[in-house]
Structure 1
Amino acid sequence: MTETRDDTTTAELAPGVRIPLIGLGTWPLTGEDAAAAVAQAIGSGYRHIDTAENYANEAAVGEGIRRSGIERSRLFLTTKFNTEWHSRDGVREAFGHAVKRLRTDYLDLFLVHWPNPAQGRFVEACEGLQRLVEEGSIRAWGVSNFKPAHLRLVQAAGLKVPVNQVQVDPEHGQPGQLAYHRDHSILTAAYSPLGRNGTFLSHPAVTGPARDLGKTPAQIVLRWHVQHDRVAVPKSASLDRQRENLDVFTFALGQDQLDAIDALDTGAPPRLDSDTFFH
């Protein structure tokens, strides 16, 4: 269902399923802003769009996809569902709502948005997702904001987690979390990959390579993600910035440059604690 992409710009998510390493994040865009940004991004070469039930923009994202004129099979579409649907049957209902809003008949990737461990049903949600894969309704499944403790419970149920979308940027490196992903062959997808007005974009570890390579600080940070084998989904509605964010495959950072950006990690936890925050 998906066009073949260069292996240097995609990662293997599941057998026969490759995910573009750079996607378009769409939060907090809504309405016409979201539709226009999505159509514009696709026209600029994006083939991976990331949305969620809680972003309240799935219908607008779907409109942007239609407006772009792209064949559905050439696009990788990710969305996420809320804890209201955390059961095997609930996931099926969440899928029905999502594809109706997006006006598509399948999803490339469907994620549990937050574990909500107090509710205690996220393992059931993952089991429901696996069933949707087996039935061909979705091409792959995954989770978001799952700590290693949450992932262990899913794995104890006999499920292999393909991907976990978490907050990662140079100041929120989450080394323990990412080490767990590597040890268990879980692909990392980074949301807010450029931070939120992160001061690291003006740090010499970023501005130095930007100057030397003739790139923007944002491009340097996105290239840092890519060279660490992560998917990144930066949000931008600006045409110039969208194009810049996608243009990170024509240069490379040296190991010393990667190490210097790694060293910007402050040890700070993610902005939201997934043991208590959810929607």
Structure 2
Amino acid sequence: MMSVLSGKSILVTGVITTSSIAFHTAREAQLAGAQVVLTGLRPRLVNRIAARLPHPAPVVELDVTDTEQLRTLAGRVTEHTDRLDGVLHSIAYAPQGALGGRFMETPWEDVATAVHTSAYSLKSLVSSVLPLMSEGGSVVGLDFDASVSWPDYDWMGVAKAGLESTARYLARYLGPQGIRVNLVAAGPLNTLAAGRVSATSEKDTAWADNAPLGWDEANATPVARACVALLSDWFTATTGEIVHVDGGVHAMGF
């Protein structure tokens, strides 16, 4: 993995804490030779987190629900790199009322926020930086298996199903431009986002018990390395795919 991204410029969204998958992917991408540009909803906070990466990384402000910020994103990214070879979409949010077993009571406004931020944002993000990907490249999004329902995940699960479908359609429409679009479905990890779902600890214990390879919810590196591999040129004929990095649970009937 030491040089698979050598000479490539990668945009990484969603770095919030050092435990986030996005942070670990940015770290592994730098170790693999990439120039990394970060985006963040709160740039000052992300700059502090970015200081813990192996190399300095600029931070560009981005709220994926803000039309003006999306319109100017490519121009602001070009202050740091003249092209992008890869993009990591690591953005998801659902209001608390859309989680935690309140599925039947969740109002449309909360559902709309979850779908806009967690699914439609994949399309809007890619559309915004498309001018910087004229030579093709790879888009990787972070997923949580939406083929089944999960306790407490509720409308975020619906949004993830939308994300999966969005990725397939992007793969269809962007393939002729040499752009691959894939998702990585990770097992549960100790991240800020996971902490908002009430039954996380119980689910993690059951996950580890049912994973033939075992599962460490404190270790995001295997997921980050899968993202790096998909961002590299090792998967040039793979698009529209969901790669599970979950210890094998998805195949076990759990």
TM-score (norm 1): 0.37
> Normalised by the size of structure 2, how large is the TM-score?
0.39
